[in-house]
């Protein structure tokens, strides 16, 4: 029997992940060479703490991407969870209890998303968008009496949570990476992980092989909400305040990071390594803009442009896989016809 | 799985059953359910009118209609993009870019009409690019326009930051306050558009083609419908009408603002779906979209009247969005 | 279920023979099954007995009750009346759903994003500890694939396989379960002849293994080739069960439709006119190369090719759905290569797509809309549609094509496959084209409707239209076409007409043995 060798990256479906990771590495390299500030301890520390919550949120988002869903409420959930934790601390709760309160908010909103999407079958874009609005509304109401900085002045025990570091490595960053690796292991090696891909690849057929779609979907939304809450709690602990700005617009950043890292909104594609690569890419880009003091609006131009390019490249590669020639993809044959008509 | 049963049984050659009578034109008509929505809008208006003396004042009603009519400009093309099972999330950004760009040109002492023409041409160019990419490469428009949303927003903010806080010239500021028959010109425009849309959706071949494209693009292609052209045209229309709305908004707020049109795309999605459009294409109604915007404006206005925290508005928009789609999903059992 | 899956030796002819002798009880007994949906009776008192180890075929037109019967056997539906006994024991639907029955549905249900091995073992990945045992999974999958002579790498992503290979992977998933009853619903509908042959040998092999196979297919010759016994359903009732002994296709057709159909080839004497369509050296590298074809008014030209021959790509390029790099497509003397479908239609070429659900129908729009879709511009004035004309056109077509519908506002999804196909034909013919390119005109259509569709095609040709029929159904082409162009390896392998129109000759050309 003829056995063709299939390249490792294709067999493991890591092609786009490798590419994104490579580009992120190039950015890091370029920054290290051309700016003195990049390898500065402070910068590396702040980079890690900026990446950590994003990684955690992206882990949840990628889980949903695998099954063909996404959650736009994560940024707002992150904010509300931080506020809930801060509020509980202010009301005299102990640190663990306050964290539980924050986590409960995340799990609760995740369950709400899951209930509507998995239970009632409502489109996930609509549900999570609506929940994003609603959560932001709640945040505004809660914060309406507060000063701009929001809740501050947390006990030592709580702030230590996000500020733990050892030898230049930030505790929350290490934690986030470990979480991500564990998820990757689950996804690659266990039946549960493969089932996510089965479900994302063909939801109808997944039912026939005994995957309970609604249950898995519901749980994934709960996981996504819970992880967003964890990220919110850690970020609150790190910066020492909880205000209405936390996590604002984060959903789009994470969404884009997952896409750039190899996820697909159609589902059945992606990996946690890819989520890592995507977050790293976006965070390094942000860091580069800060170090080079480029105005923030240029950042959205670049990120948006990168996304547009990724989407176009992906579409062209899909067409190429269908054996379409470059001429027909780019529409050169059309010009050819016009020329012939003129002759 | 009721439909499967029907396929198996009711149309058996020899059964000759007439049991399942067609659902008639109502099954999937070319247009939405405007009547029930009108009733709801009227009901909300009546409740507000009866309970809040401030609601019925001419200035309040005028201001609600004015607000709605400007947003209506932006939802005009957007609705028809949705009919074709595409989505244009860049409307808010194009809205901001066009308005800000025109303002910036006028600050630089350009001719009024030339500046407007250039700004709208830029919008049309953006719409063309998006439509072209979607058509030529088969790109998912949701993903593409999320990218262009950021990209265009960035460009718009570059211009806005250049301008700083400078006010636009008087000529531009007065544009939004132009009246026709003592009514704001955008309100008149909205009324005319709704009437035209009525006929357009009922009778025109083009709207039918759009619905066909939205329901099954490949069938439409086989049937010789020029899918690419119609889609590109719709994306252009969406960008240009959003640009028009942006020009009027910029004129109204009198200076560059980086928050202009922020999140507008999601208000558009909400209103269009309330108005009968579907994320799964094949449906949509400009009259409904207008009513959807009006309903949102009335509810928000009512909340202010009832002294409900204005910051709670976002909550209400979110809840309305979910409620509408849930209702639609449960009643029509559309899959997705 | 065997706890160790496919670990035991797969082929044991002796053991199988032993079992066949020792155990002759029925694996399945359907007795007086009745099922109604609302006012409509789908099945009335259906009896079916399947013996252990046999290949049992179920035949019937669409709407005859095959799908409902299968669903009941597979435990997806409960009958209103009657009993279903498995291995002599009466069972309920949930028991059967959990039990020892594996069914491959008609719709493709593969996971295109996963590897071949994962698809085969979907739902039951081999595990060791808490982890998936990938080595064992790939080894077993390779074993299974090589057993049936398939050269597919088990780590390959399924999206890179041909549709036929995908279908086989899906069937292997059911085979892998080693159920004692395997139900195959139209398993060859997406396969080319080579793959269909592999599948049929697979079925025979399973039968040797003492697996009972319940086989549903429209392709009568397949059924005759592999079935031990054949049960014919008609109008929701079981008509008869035949032993497959010296049966010929006409016997089956007679039972299925309850009447004799017109004989094989109709001798025609129709006037053939001037050239309407002329394709010259049409080439798209890698898809089809140097294709030259002519079709004259009143002529039916068949194009036959196995999967991968390029015939399917050529058919789409002919209508402008796909690009063609060089060559000419001349319609009335004008070169139309590269023109979009809209321009092709305007030039008088109309196209019938191969898969009506994928492209061709709007399943949730009324029949009126479906028929009007291609002629919207013609029936509009100043962009406004003449709705009376649309309705009249639809009423005429429903009568003309004898479409059995509840009303012209019914939606295609409510119709049977045959009637859907007729709606598709109405849309295709709505603008009275000069040239027809028909792609698989009777795919998934039952015997009765097939004959009606053939009549329509002939009468269109008689009316002076040039007709090109692309079909993988060779008997159909033999019946219809004046001459048949055969494609192989992206090129035209030859042309057959007159006395040479014989199945074996054409097949030899297509498969490259001539």
With cut-offs at 50, 70 and 90, classify the pLDDT of residue B179: confident
- Tell which C residues from 480 to 499 touch A, by Cβ distance under 8 Å: none
Domain spans of chain C, in order of start: 5-257, 275-511
Asked if B137's CB is within 8 angstroms of A316's CB, the reply is yes
* % of chain A surpassing 70 pLDDT: 91
Mean pLDDT of A87-100: 88
The single residue listed with the structure tokens 């009468």 is: C459
With cut-offs at 50, 70 and 90, classify the pLDDT of residue B336: very low
Asked if A198's CB is within 8 angstroms of C122's CB, the reply is yes
Residues of C in contact with B225 (CB under 8 A): 342, 373-374, 376
- The 10 Å Cβ neighbour count of residue A121 is 16
What pLDDT is stored for residue C13 in this prediction?
A: 39
What pLDDT is stored for residue A105 in this prediction?
A: 95
With cut-offs at 50, 70 and 90, classify the pLDDT of residue C301: very high
Mean pLDDT of C288-315: 86
Helix C163-176 with C193-208: angle, nearest 10 deg = 10
* % of chain B surpassing 90 pLDDT: 26
With cut-offs at 50, 70 and 90, classify the pLDDT of residue B12: very low
What pLDDT is stored for residue A117 in this prediction?
A: 93
Point out the least confidently predicted range of A109-118, C26-35, C396-405: C396-405
Point out the least confidently predicted range of A77-86, B305-314, C383-392: B305-314
Asked if C146's CB is within 8 angstroms of A190's CB, the reply is no
Overall fold of domain C5-257: Rossmann fold (3.40.50)
Structure tokens at A84: 């809930």
pLDDT above 50 (res B5): no
Mutate to test the interface with C, among B2, B3, B12 (most CBs of C within 10 A): B12
What pLDDT is stored for residue C14 in this prediction?
A: 38
Mean pLDDT of B306-335: 75
- C125 DSSP assignment: -
Mean pLDDT of C373-388: 82
Instruction: State the CATH architecture for B31-38+54-332.
Output: Orthogonal Bundle (1.10)
Structure tokens at A233: 């709690």
Q: Which of C172, C177, C29 is nearest to C102 (CA)?
A: C177
What pLDDT is stored for residue A340 in this prediction?
A: 52
| A333 reaches B (C-beta below 8 A) | no
pLDDT above 80 (res A116): yes
**In CATH terms, are C5-257 and C275-511 the same topology?**
yes
| A315 reaches B (C-beta below 8 A) | yes
| Residues paired with C278 in a beta bridge | C294, C330
pLDDT above 80 (res C98): no
Which secondary structure element, helix H or strand E, spans residue C438, and what is its range?
Answer: strand C435-439
| C423 reaches B (C-beta below 8 A) | no
| A343 reaches C (C-beta below 8 A) | no
| C444 reaches B (C-beta below 8 A) | no
What pLDDT is stored for residue A339 in this prediction?
A: 53
Q: B19 near B10, Cβ under 8 Å?
A: yes
What pLDDT is stored for residue B27 in this prediction?
A: 39
The pLDDT tens digits of the residues spanning A2-17 come to 445 677 777 777 888 8
Asked if A265's CB is within 8 angstroms of B157's CB, the reply is no
Q: Buried b vs exposed e over A4-29: b needs ≥16 C-beta within 10 Å?
A: eebeeeeebbbebbbbbbebbeebbe
The pLDDT tens digits of the residues spanning A258-309 come to 988 988 888 888 999 999 999 999 999 888 888 888 888 888 888 888 888 8
Q: For residue A81, what are the CA distances in angstroms to A76, A94, A158, B260?
A: 8, 16, 14, 28
Residues of A in contact with C125 (CB under 8 A): 191, 194
Q: Which of A343, A316, A318 is nearest to A327 (CA)?
A: A316
With cut-offs at 50, 70 and 90, classify the pLDDT of residue B151: very high
Q: For residue A105, what are the CA distances in angstroms to A145, A253, B312?
A: 21, 22, 19
Mean pLDDT score of chain C, rounded to an integer? 80
Instruction: Tell me the whole-structure pTM to 2 decimals.
Output: 0.79
Residues of B in contact with A302 (CB under 8 A): 154
What pLDDT is stored for residue B102 in this prediction?
A: 92
With cut-offs at 50, 70 and 90, classify the pLDDT of residue B239: very high
- The 10 Å Cβ neighbour count of residue B232 is 21
What pLDDT is stored for residue A316 in this prediction?
A: 82
What pLDDT is stored for residue A290 in this prediction?
A: 85
Q: Which residues, other chains included, contact C361 with Cβ-Cβ below 8 Å and sequence gap of 6+?
A: B216, B219, C370, C412, C420, C423, C424, C427
Backbone CA torsion sign across C175, C177, C181, C187: negative
The CA dihedral of C175, C176, C177, C179, to the nearest 10 degrees, is 40
The single residue listed with the structure tokens 């790109």 is: B139
What pLDDT is stored for residue C154 in this prediction?
A: 86
The CA dihedral of A193, A196, A202, A206, to the nearest 10 degrees, is 80
The single residue listed with the structure tokens 């020792």 is: C22
pLDDT above 70 (res A323): no
pLDDT above 70 (res B126): yes
What pLDDT is stored for residue A67 in this prediction?
A: 93
What pLDDT is stored for residue C39 in this prediction?
A: 59
Mean pLDDT of C285-308: 86
What pLDDT is stored for residue B3 in this prediction?
A: 36
Distance CA B213, CA B216 (A): 5
Question: Does A318 or A336 have the greater pLDDT score?
Answer: A318
What pLDDT is stored for residue A338 in this prediction?
A: 53
pLDDT above 60 (res C184): yes
DSSP states of C190-209: T--HHHHHHHHHHHHHHHHT
Q: Which residues, other chains included, contact C21 with Cβ-Cβ below 8 Å and sequence gap of 6+?
A: none
Q: For residue B201, what are the CA distances in angstroms to B205, B231, B236, C88, C456?
A: 9, 17, 19, 62, 35
Residues of A in contact with C160 (CB under 8 A): 321
Domain spans of chain B, in order of start: 31-38+54-332
CA B105 remoteness from chain centre: 27
With cut-offs at 50, 70 and 90, classify the pLDDT of residue B75: very high
What pLDDT is stored for residue B333 in this prediction?
A: 53
With cut-offs at 50, 70 and 90, classify the pLDDT of residue B237: very high
Mean pLDDT of B253-264: 84
The pLDDT tens digits of the residues spanning C395-445 come to 888 888 888 777 778 888 777 777 888 888 888 888 888 999 999 888 777
| C125 reaches A (C-beta below 8 A) | yes
The pLDDT tens digits of the residues spanning C252-282 come to 777 776 654 444 455 455 667 888 899 999 9
| A6 reaches B (C-beta below 8 A) | no
pLDDT above 70 (res C38): no
pLDDT above 90 (res C3): no
pLDDT above 60 (res A337): no
Most confident residue range from A114-123, A157-166, A296-305, B316-325: A114-123
CA A234 remoteness from chain centre: 16
Q: From the CA of A318, how many Å to the nearest CA of chain B? A: 9
| A203 reaches C (C-beta below 8 A) | no
* % of chain B surpassing 70 pLDDT: 88
What pLDDT is stored for residue A102 in this prediction?
A: 93
With cut-offs at 50, 70 and 90, classify the pLDDT of residue C177: confident
Overall fold of domain C275-511: Rossmann fold (3.40.50)
Most confident residue range from B70-84, B182-196, C129-143: B70-84
| A257 reaches B (C-beta below 8 A) | no
How many residue pairs from chains B and C have C-beta atoms closer than 8 A? 166
- Tell which C residues from 313 to 352 touch A, by Cβ distance under 8 Å: 322-325, 335, 337-339
Tell me which chains share at least 3 CB pairs under 8 Å with chain B: A, C
Point out the least confidently predicted range of C188-192, C210-214, C423-427: C188-192
Q: Is A209 left (phi over 0), alpha (psi -120 to 50) or beta?
A: alpha
Residues of C in contact with A1 (CB under 8 A): 142, 145-146, 151
Q: From the CA of A315, how many Å to the nearest CA of chain B? A: 6
The pLDDT tens digits of the residues spanning C478-497 come to 888 888 999 887 888 888 88
What pLDDT is stored for residue B107 in this prediction?
A: 86
What pLDDT is stored for residue A304 in this prediction?
A: 87
Point out the least confidently predicted range of A218-227, C105-114, C245-254, C274-283: C245-254
- The 10 Å Cβ neighbour count of residue B173 is 18
Distance CA C373, CA C390 (A): 10
Mutate to test the interface with A, among C1, C108, C110, C113 (most CBs of A within 10 A): C113
Q: A67 near A195, Cβ under 8 Å?
A: no
Across the interface, of C113, C130, C324, the residue whose CB is closest to A269 is C113
Asked if B24's CB is within 8 angstroms of C376's CB, the reply is no
ipTM for this prediction: 0.81
Asked if B224's CB is within 8 angstroms of C346's CB, the reply is yes
The single residue listed with the structure tokens 């009259």 is: B287
What pLDDT is stored for residue B335 in this prediction?
A: 42
Residues of C in contact with A204 (CB under 8 A): 109
pLDDT above 70 (res B8): no
Mean pLDDT score of chain A, rounded to an integer? 85
Q: Which of B224, B153, C234, C440 is nearest to A249 (CA)?
A: B153
With cut-offs at 50, 70 and 90, classify the pLDDT of residue C469: very high
- Tell which A residues from 129 to 188 touch B, by Cβ distance under 8 Å: 129-138, 140-141, 144
Question: Does B23 or C87 have the greater pLDDT score?
Answer: C87
Across the interface, of A120, A130, A131, the residue whose CB is closest to B329 is A120
pLDDT above 80 (res C220): no
Q: From the CA of C10, how many Å to the nearest CA of chain B? A: 37
Helix A74-90 with A95-114: angle, nearest 10 deg = 150
Q: C260 near C254, Cβ under 8 Å?
A: yes
* % of chain C surpassing 90 pLDDT: 6
The pLDDT tens digits of the residues spanning B267-293 come to 888 888 888 888 887 888 888 899 999
What pLDDT is stored for residue C432 in this prediction?
A: 86
Mean pLDDT of B302-317: 78
Asked if B22's CB is within 8 angstroms of C411's CB, the reply is yes
Q: Buried b vs exposed e over C41-66: b needs ≥16 C-beta within 10 Å?
A: bbbbebebbbbbbbbbbbbbbbbbbb
The pLDDT tens digits of the residues spanning B31-54 come to 457 888 888 899 999 988 888 888
Most confident residue range from B321-325, C312-316, C404-408: C312-316
What pLDDT is stored for residue A181 in this prediction?
A: 94
What pLDDT is stored for residue B326 in this prediction?
A: 84
């Amino acid at each position: 029997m003829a056995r063709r060798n299939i390249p490792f990256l294709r067999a493991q479906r890591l092609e786009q992940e490798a590419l994104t990771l490579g580009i992120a590495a190039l950015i890091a390299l370029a920054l290290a060479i051309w700016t003195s500030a990049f390898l500065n301890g402070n910068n590396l520390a702040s980079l890690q703490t900026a990446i950590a919550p994003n990684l955690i949120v992206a882990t949840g988002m990628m889980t949903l991407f695998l099954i063909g869903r996404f959650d736009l409420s994560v940024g707002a959930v992150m904010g509300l969870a931080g506020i809930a934790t801060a509020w509980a601390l202010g009301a005299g709760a102990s640190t663990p209890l306050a964290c539980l309160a924050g986590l409960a908010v995340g799990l609760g909103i995740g369950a709400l998303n899951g209930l509507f999407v998995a239970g009632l079958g409502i489109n996930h874009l609509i549900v999570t968008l609506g929940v994003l609005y609603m959560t932001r509304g709640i945040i505004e109401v809660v914060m309406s009496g507060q000063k701009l900085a929001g809740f501050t002045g947390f006990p030592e025990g709580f702030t230590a949570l996000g500020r733990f570091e050892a030898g230049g490595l930030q505790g929350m960053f290490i934690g986030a990476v470990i979480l991500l690796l564990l998820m990757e292991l689950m996804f690659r090696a266990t039946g549960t992980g493969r089932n996510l891909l089965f479900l994302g690849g063909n939801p109808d057929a997944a039912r026939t092989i005994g995957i309970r779609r609604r249950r898995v979907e519901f749980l994934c939304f709960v996981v996504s909400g819970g992880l967003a809450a964890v990220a919110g709690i850690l970020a609150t602990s790190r910066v020492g305040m909880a205000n209405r700005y936390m996590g604002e617009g984060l959903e789009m950043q994470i969404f884009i990071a997952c896409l750039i890292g190899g996820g697909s909104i159609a589902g059945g594609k992606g990996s946690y390594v890819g989520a890592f690569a995507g977050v790293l890419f976006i965070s390094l880009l942000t860091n580069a803009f800060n170090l080079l003091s480029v105005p923030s609006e240029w950042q959205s131009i670049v990120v948006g442009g990168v996304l547009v390019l990724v989407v176009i490249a992906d579409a062209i590669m899909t067409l190429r896989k269908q054996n379409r020639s470059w001429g027909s993809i780019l529409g050169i044959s059309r010009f050819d016809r016009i020329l012939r008509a003129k002759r | 799985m009721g439909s499967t049963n029907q396929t198996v049984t009711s149309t058996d050659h020899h059964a000759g059953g007439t049991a399942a009578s067609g659902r008639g034109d109502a099954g999937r008509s070319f247009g939405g359910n405007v009547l029930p929505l009108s009733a709801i809008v009227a009901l909300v208006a009546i409740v507000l009118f009866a309970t809040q003396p401030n609601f019925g004042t001419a200035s309040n009603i005028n201001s609600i209609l004015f607000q709605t009519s400007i947003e209506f400009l932006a939802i005009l093309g957007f609705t028809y993009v949705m009919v074709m099972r595409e989505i244009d999330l860049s409307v808010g950004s194009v809205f901001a870019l066009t308005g800000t760009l025109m303002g910036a040109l006028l600050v630089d002492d350009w001719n009024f009409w030339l500046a407007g023409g250039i700004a709208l041409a830029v919008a049309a160019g953006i719409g063309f690019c998006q439509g072209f990419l979607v058509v030529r490469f088969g790109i998912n428009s949701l993903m593409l326009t999320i990218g262009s949303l950021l990209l265009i927003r960035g460009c718009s903010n570059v211009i806005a930051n250049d301008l700083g806080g400078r006010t636009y010239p008087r000529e531009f500021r007065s544009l939004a306050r132009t009246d026709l028959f003592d009514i704001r010109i955008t309100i008149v425009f909205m009324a005319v558009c709704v009437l035209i849309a009525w006929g357009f959706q009922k009778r025109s071949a083009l709207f039918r083609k759009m619905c066909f494209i939205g329901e099954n693009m490949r069938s439409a292609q086989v049937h010789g419908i020029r899918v690419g052209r119609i889609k590109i045209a719709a994306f252009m229309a969406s960008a240009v009408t959003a640009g028009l709305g942006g020009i009027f908004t910029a004129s109204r707020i009198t200076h560059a603002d980086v928050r202009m049109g922020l999140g507008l795309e999601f208000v558009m999605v909400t209103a269009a779906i309330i108005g009968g459009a579907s994320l799964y294409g094949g449906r949509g109604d400009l009259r409904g979209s207008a009513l959807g915007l009006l309903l949102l404006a009335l509810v928000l206005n009512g909340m202010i009247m009832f002294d409900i925290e204005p910051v709670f508005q976002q909550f209400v928009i979110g809840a309305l969005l979910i409620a509408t789609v849930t209702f639609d999903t449960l009643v029509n059992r559309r899959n997705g | 279920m065997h706890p160790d899956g496919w670990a035991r030796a797969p082929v044991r002819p002796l053991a199988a023979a032993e079992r066949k002798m020792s155990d002759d009880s029925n694996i399945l007994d359907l007795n007086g099954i009745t099922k109604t949906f609302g006012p409509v009776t789908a099945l009335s008192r259906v009896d079916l007995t399947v013996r252990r180890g046999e290949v049992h075929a179920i035949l019937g037109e669409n709407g005859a009750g095959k799908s409902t019967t299968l669903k009941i056997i597979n435990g997806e539906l409960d009958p209103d009346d009657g009993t279903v006994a498995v291995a002599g024991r009466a069972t309920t639907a949930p028991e059967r759903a959990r039990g020892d029955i594996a069914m491959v549905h008609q719709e493709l249900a593969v996971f295109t994003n996963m590897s071949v091995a994962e698809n085969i073992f979907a739902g039951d990945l081999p595990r060791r500890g808490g982890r998936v045992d990938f080595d064992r999974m790939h080894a077993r999958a390779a074993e299974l694939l090589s057993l049936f002579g398939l050269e597919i790498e088990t780590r390959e992503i399924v999206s890179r396989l041909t549709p036929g290979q995908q279908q086989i992977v899906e069937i292997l998933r059911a085979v892998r379960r080693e159920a004692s009853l395997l139900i195959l619903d139209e398993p060859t509908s997406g396969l080319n002849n080579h793959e269909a042959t592999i599948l049929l040998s697979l079925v025979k092999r399973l039968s040797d293994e003492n697996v009972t196979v319940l086989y549903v297919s429209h392709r009568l010759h397949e059924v005759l080739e592999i079935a031990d016994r054949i049960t014919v359903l008609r109008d929701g009732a079981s008509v008869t069960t035949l032993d497959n002994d010296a049966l010929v296709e006409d016997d089956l057709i007679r039972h299925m439709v309850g009447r004799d159909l017109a004989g094989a080839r109709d001798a025609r004497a129709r006037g053939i006119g001037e050239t309407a369509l002329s394709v010259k050296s049409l080439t798209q590298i890698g898809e089809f190369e140097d294709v030259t074809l002519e079709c004259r008014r009143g002529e039916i030209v068949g194009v036959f090719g196995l999967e991968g021959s390029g015939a399917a790509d050529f058919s789409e390029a002919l209508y402008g759905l796909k690009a063609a790099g060089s060559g000419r497509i001349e319609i009335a003397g004008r070169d139309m290569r590269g023109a979009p479908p809209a321009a092709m239609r305007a030039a008088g070429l109309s196209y019938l797509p191969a898969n009506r659900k994928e492209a061709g129908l709007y399943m949730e729009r009324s029949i009126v809309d479906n028929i009007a879709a291609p002629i919207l511009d013609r029936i509009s004035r100043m962009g406004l549609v003449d709705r009376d004309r649309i309705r009249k056109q639809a009423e005429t077509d429903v009568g003309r094509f004898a479409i059995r519908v509840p009303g012209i506002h019914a939606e295609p999804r409510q119709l049977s496959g045959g009637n859907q196909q007729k709606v598709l034909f109405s849309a295709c013919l709505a603008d009275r084209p000069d040239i027809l390119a028909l792609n698989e005109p009777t795919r998934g259509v039952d015997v009765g409707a097939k004959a009606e569709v053939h009549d329509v095609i002939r009468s269109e040709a008689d009316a002076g239209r040039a007709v090109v029929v692309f079909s993988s159904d060779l008997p159909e082409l033999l019946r219809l076409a004046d001459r048949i162009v055969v494609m192989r390896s992206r090129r035209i392998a030859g042309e057959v007409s007159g006395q040479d129109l014989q199945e074996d000759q054409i097949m030899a050309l297509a498969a490259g043995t001539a």
